[in-house]
Amino acid sequence: MINKILSILYKDFKIEMSQSHLFFSVALYVVSSIYIVYISFQPVGILNSEHWVSIFWIIILFSSISSVSKSFFQESSNRNYYYYYVLSPDELIFSKLIYNFIFILFVSFLTFAVFTFFLGNYIISLPFFFSLLFIGALSISNCLTLIAAVAHQVKNNSSLISILSFPVIIPIFLLLIKLSKVSSTEFSWILVQDDIYLLILLNIILVSLTKFLFGFLWRN
């Protein structure tokens, strides 16, 4: 199973490196969005951490949706038939989950770097915030990969991703924004432990739903 997952990951990375349209389009979206925010807040700039954190995660939200939506729709019908006979549903969906997680994690750190360059840094507890980026990328990839898989089975209707993802992903982003505001002060585990446990629980639920629901969709 691991070898097949690694093979799919290698194939996806190879396609991305040869085409690079998704990487450059997402990078351009991130940089241009942040630059527009930078111009909008001139000449005083962003004055508090609440605005900084909220805008930061909003940019990650829309860049993640645009990137993950391509994970299934770039596959041709012939390749999907090939996958159907040589891969199990778990092998295919977990390879997509891992690929989307790596891509969203990269987008998150790119956003943080560009955001800090243009708008300064309000984050005091950087180790906790970087850990939050890791957990956030995992949560977003779990949610959007499931939605993309469902939309792919409905006549490749990519518009369903935006419609179905927002009710599911908004609670995740509200938690991430709340935790990020804590990272702009001195870190205290007591302040964040309940929300961290809730995020972990949401990830377990999403992975379980993805495993069982995609197996049903893939075979039908």
State residue 80's pLDDT score: 64
State residue 112's pLDDT score: 92
State residue 46's pLDDT score: 76
DSSP states of 99-118 as a string? Answer: HHHHHHHHHHHHHHHHHHHH
- Locate the domains of the chain by residue range: 2-219
Which of 113, 106, 108, 114 lies closest to 32, judged by CA?
Answer: 114
Q: Cα-flanking dihedrals φ and ψ of residue 23, to 5°? A: -60, -50
User: pLDDT (tens digit, 0 to 9) for every residue of the chain, 220 residues total?
Assistant: 677 777 777 777 776 676 666 677 888 888 898 898 888 887 777 777 788 888 899 899 888 877 776 666 666 566 666 666 667 777 778 888 888 898 889 889 999 999 898 888 888 888 888 988 999 898 888 888 888 777 776 665 556 666 777 777 888 888 888 888 888 777 677 778 888 888 888 888 888 888 777 777 766 5
| Rounded-to-integer distance, Cα 164 and Cα 169, Å | 9
Which of 40, 33, 81, 85 lies closest to 60, judged by CA?
Answer: 33
State residue 63's pLDDT score: 84
Q: Going by C-beta distance under 8 Å and a sequence separation of 6 or more, which residues neighbour residue 115?
A: 34, 52, 56, 59
Helix axes 21-40, 49-68, angle to 10 degrees: 160
* Cα torsion angle, 27, 6, 90, 176, sign: negative
State residue 113's pLDDT score: 92
Give the angle 166-47-55 at the CA atoms, nearest 5°.
Answer: 15
Kindly report the pTM of this predicted structure.
Answer: 0.86
State residue 109's pLDDT score: 92
